Structure 1
């Protein structure tokens, strides 16, 4: 097998987005992988370091392109970022924070949406912030209105420019009463990062309560913030005058752990996911049990295997504590091997089933209903944007030429190719480096047969 580096660096923050793999499937994936800190926490904790008046230490940081992007943006703003002696440790010193030129921010942001979360900390430190045009995976509309509306309530002045959005806080920022229309993870993070140093008390209702949010709260509390969580998605933040640095080990990446679990099921293999924890994956593990997976929960991680013939399931994606939208794509690959009809209701993003076109090309029996299914009992309230995918199996997947559309869909395409008989050519796999550390190395360790051909 020929390997190119799949580790992003500050000099190459977007990662190897043009790479193409030739994958020979039909063999089980077996072995061990290690999952580090969650992408959805690590990048936000790095931004939080801007709020401190002393250096911070963040541990279990994965080497992924999203981390490289945030690192570059922090350095553009004068934060000194140094790798620690321990693998995956970053030292972040915000002593010399300064304004950055629009062009520099735009150049380093790439396709990331992370710059929006710099706004609160930069408004506190510098009195101004700039957001370039935002990119990311093309899985549906992710408006930043929630973010901008919240920042306005804190007292920020928002000015839209041809190249992006400039924000200022001529009178400083103050506490606010905010009710999110939807428990958005990003908007909740925005409020937390802004409220901790705003004068007065902020009450956030309909907040996201994902484990990564709770871990960000833990980071901020270590820095000196006063944050309490009440029932019914209410978070109270008492603003403080100053914060100091933190020393924190990031929560493990639930999305990566679930992805490898689904890979074990799809390929009829056995994968030990070192670093995975039961508590944060309860909902996922319940679905695994229903689908017929066999898993062994250990202190150091969780072992996943098929165990028996896979059974069909009905799943509805939802915000935590529901079934994560990021979990449904690799799960669908596994469900192509289940005997019977499975249904996945996607209620979070309106365009996340596009990846199934490639699975159908490979022989899967999947029908997408663009307006969802109206019949049948539901736990999650129906949303106007939702879709449904009906998967009938088991089907024998066969090799095909496919192009990766986004992060989770791309991972799912690779696993489908490893499940299929024959050779597949998978293009644009570099985007997977946004969320999966040393992806090629891990595939190799699990016995995957592939070459990097371009």
Structure 2
């Protein structure tokens, strides 16, 4: 049985405690890194989400032994018998995740070849793999594109390269890291992403024996090594999930303690949360978020790469801004199609207008492309229940926040996608007192 539809009776503040585990944007990548080693690795603080399951299945198809460690949230990954998986077996996972593209470098190092099925992921904007493939070619990889996926080989091995990213892409930076650590010579990548999850991946690779330095100008230098061992690592907590629950507390007028939340990864978000009028308290065990009563304040915000305001924080924040007094302006500069979720919020009663112009000063990659990527939110507005279809992972969570904040009954369909990034999502809603009824499908 799988839950794909939730009936939500809104208007009740979320109050209580939930816990977050390792970041969705780190754990599957650390699992891929284990393929580079000649010894087993141990990864803890692993969430039970479908992206982890998908990557685990792919690794097992390639001969990696994946097992549960001393605790339920610990994985032991033994890559000592890595082999090329049969293409039909891999194709079963086509369209289920974008993480498999990161297997290219590790498999080329271990086997000299790789097959990657067609990729999936949320449709929030153009996330081409050309950056990945261009980087791999600079290392010396040969790429053969076919309808079923990508076939790669490295007839002369992989050699370090000087790579400049036109945009600090997280995925491509991860690709360079996972490929450069065992390439011959030195790799230098400029304009690299420096998100906390990137830094945590660097820590994983350094534990394995990699030599990696990070400069203040977004330049990463990697000195390739012949051998990597295993790692023992606890994944950093998920800052996206933390911010999502914080916005849910704010939008519903509630109070949520997020156990294991870490302040250092959330400083930009916390500043904005406080500017809007929310309150928070940082403790050794986590962070408590609450609506203190009174009016929330409108503001202008722009998304950006780290250390800017994270694009994945934008959608849940917009729901909270529908309850703020005045006019808020949100300029999305990372993904061009991330404002599509606002149509559903308007059906709930929100006053939101989207524009193709850049309503902000942050450099934007698609300001002249007629993409609706800026929003003007007028509030406060009374939200009312409606039927909603989840568009993607983060937009879907925002729909849930809106349904929880709205008066009356909402039907939210497509909630199965939450399994990709939110562990025990339904259980956490119940822990916070949400009035939610699941509708099961066979």
TM-score by length of structure 2 reads: 0.97
Superposition pairs of residues 206-225 of structure 1, within 5 angstroms: 206-225=191-210
Q: Out of 291, 297, 301, which is 1:311 matched to?
A: 297
Q: Which residue of 1 aligns with 2:363?
A: 381
The answer to whether structure 1 residue 193 and structure 2 residue 178 are counterparts is yes
Q: Deviations over 1:191-223 (max 9, x none)?
A: 000000000000010000000000000000000
TM-score by length of 1: 0.94
d(CA) in 2 for partners of 1:255 and 1:223? 27
| C-alpha distance in 2 between matches for 1:131 and 1:317 | 31
Pick aligned residue for 1:129 from 114, 126, 143: 114
**CA distance in 2 between partners of 1:430 and 1:341 (Å):** 34
Q: Which residue of 2 aligns with 1:407?
A: 393
Partner of 1:8: none
Matched, 1:246 2:228: no
Q: Which residue of 126, 129, 143 corresponds with 1:158?
A: 143
**Residue 418 of structure 2 corresponds to which residue in structure 1?**
432
Give the conservation status (yes or no) of the 8 Å contact 2:334–2:364: no
Counterpart for residue 155 of structure 2: 170
User: Which aligned runs of 4 or more in structure 1 are off by greater than 4 angstroms?
Assistant: none
Displacement, 1:87? 2.5
Q: Is the 1:418–1:448 Cα contact (8 Å) retained in structure 2?
A: yes
Q: Is the 8 A contact 2:93 2:117 kept in 1?
A: no
Match of residue 21 from structure 2? 36
1:354 to 333, 336, 340: 340
**Distance in 2 of aligned mates of 1:383 and 1:169:** 33
Aligned to 2:328, what secondary structure does the other structure show?
strand
Q: How far did residue 111 of structure 1 move?
A: 2.1
2:351 to 365, 386, 390: 365
1:371 Cα deviation after fit: 3.7
Q: Which of 308, 317, 321 is the equivalent residue of 1:322?
A: 308
Give the whole-Å Cα distance in 1 for the aligned partners of 2:321 and 2:419.
25
Structure 2 CA distance for aligned equivalents of residues 101 and 405 of structure 1: 33
Q: Contact 1:208–1:233 (CA<8 Å) still a contact in 2?
A: yes
Give the alignment partner of residue 335 of structure 1, picking from 306, 314, 321: 321
- Counterpart of 1:394? 380
TM superposition shift of 1:415 = 1.0
Q: 2:28, 2:55 within 8 Å by CA — same for their partners in 1?
A: yes
Measured in 1, the distance between the counterparts of 2:19 and 2:436 equals 20
Q: Which residue of 1 aligns with 2:428?
A: 442
Residue 102 of structure 1 deviates from its aligned partner by 1.8
CA distance in 1 between counterparts of 2:84 and 2:229 reads 20
1:301 alignment counterpart: 286
User: Of residues 47, 50, 55 in structure 2, which corresponds to 1:62?
Assistant: 47
Secondary structure, aligned partner of 2:80: coil
| Aligned position for 2:128 | 143
In 2, the alpha carbon distance for the partners of 1:42 and 1:162 equals: 29
The CA distance in 2 between the partners of 1:42 and 1:134, in whole Å, is 18
1:9 match: none
Are the equivalent residues in 1 in contact too, given 2:54–2:96 (CA < 8 A)? no
Q: For 2:352 and 2:250, how far apart are their aligned partners in 1? A: 18
What is the alpha-carbon distance in structure 1 between the residues aligned to residue 147 and residue 308 of structure 2?
39
Matching residue within 407, 412, 420 for 1:421: 407
Task: Give the 3-state SS of the residue equivalent to 1:193 in structure 2.
Answer: helix
Instruction: Note the alpha carbon deviations across 1:79-136, whole angstroms, 9 max, x for none.
Output: 0000123121000000110001222112134420111000000000000011211111
What is the aligned-residue RMSD (CA, Å)?
A: 1.1
How many residue pairs get aligned? The number is: 435
* 1:279-294 correspondence runs (5 A): 279-294=264-279
